[in-house]
Amino acid sequence: MKVVKWIIIVLLIIVGLVFLIGLFMPGEMKTSASEEINLPASQVFYSVATFQNRQAWDPWLEKDPDAKVTITSEPGFVGSEYIWEGEKLGKGKMKVDSVVPGKFVKSYLWFNTEKDKPGVVYWDFQESEGKTLVTWSLSVESKNPFMKLMNQFYKGAATKSFKKGLANLKTFLEENGVEMSRLTDIELKEYPPIHAIIAEGQGTIEEMSDLMSRLFGLIMEAVNTQGLEPAGPPFSYYYDYDQSTGVTKVKAGIPLTGTAESMGEIKAVDFEGFKGISGIHTGPYEDFEASYNKLMEEAEKMGYTLTWESWEFYHSDPSTEPDESKWKTEIVFPVKEPR
């Protein structure tokens, strides 16, 4: 009995010491890790915020590959969920709480039940020269002395897992890329004549972004100077592609309700109506190539011969919508009559 008594006393002393140590432990446990990924921030952000292919790099799933995972991606990212349940991992859930597109994601983390106070997961994305420094952080708070002590013990393992996860994420994204775009609403349409104010130029695909920025700058200056009223979305009309040089000519413009005056590089023109096969590209402009290829495949399946010209009607304004995954562009290929 004396031995049992002393064992109980020793256990009580140990519990008391743990409790005492826990009282002086910080109430918040923080940990983080960083990794540079050779992709633009918009793409890395999109993958993280939507939980797209999370199973492919999650460091904890490596220990429990048979765990059941459920992913729900919401428009605008907020509310997107990642839920898991496994023999070794137990149950848990992450839910996106807030975002700054391309720069920041904040999520809540629960283990077992949402009744407990959640941990907070932060992702920061800093882009430089096409590469992104990704920082993954976790903050867990507790007032319970035992939990404060346990959280500090867990910190080292969590940091190690974060580093492993980021290394996995880097490898996966650099090898597979990120699918941010989709092409929908493919159909044959009749396009009416367009009266517009335009600016013209030519360039390769690599030069097109700077060229379009300059052309639309000239157009908007003319619209404001002449007090013109737009009658539809801005557009680009691509024609006369030179396969040997990769240079294509383009007319950038804005449809008008009234007439405009030509001035300098700005011209008032009338486009004839035409029939074209169109699709709605949702996503960044950088992903146009995949949508162009898909639209050409669909035109071939439908038996239409393309004129090898194309139109892009921009239904989103990047200056007011920072989330590239929401940008909508109507891509149109004028077609000849079916064969």
- Position 218 scores a pLDDT of 93
Indicate the Cα dihedral angle 82, 83, 87, 88, nearest 10°: 40
- Position 88 scores a pLDDT of 87
pLDDT, one tens digit per residue, over 125-135 is 999 988 999 99
- Position 261 scores a pLDDT of 83
Question: In the chain, what percentage of residues exceed pLDDT 90?
Answer: 55
Task: Enumerate the CATH 3.20.80.10 domain ranges in the chain, comma separated.
Answer: 182-334
- Position 76 scores a pLDDT of 82
Residue 274 CB contacts under 8 Å (≥ 6 apart), including other chains: 190, 191, 334
pLDDT, one tens digit per residue, over 232-247 is 999 999 998 888 898 9
Domain at 182-334, CATH homologous superfamily: Regulatory factor, effector binding domain (3.20.80.10)
Task: Enumerate the CATH 3.30.530.20 domain ranges in the chain, comma separated.
Answer: 22-176
Judge whether residue 25 has pLDDT over 60: no
- Position 151 scores a pLDDT of 52
pLDDT, one tens digit per residue, over 257-294 is 888 888 889 999 999 999 999 999 999 888 898 899 99
Residue (of 51, 80, 53, 83) closest to 67 by Cα position:
83
pTM above 0.95, yes or no: no
Q: How far, rounded to the nearest angstrom, does the alpha carbon of residue 33 sit from its chain's CA centroid?
A: 21
Judge whether residue 18 has pLDDT over 90: no
pLDDT, one tens digit per residue, over 122-174 is 999 999 988 999 999 988 775 555 454 455 556 667 788 889 999 999 999 99
CA separation (Å) from 200 to 170, 209, 210? 41, 14, 13
Pick the CATH number of 22-176 from 3.30.530.20, 3.50.50.60, 3.40.50.300, 3.40.640.10: 3.30.530.20
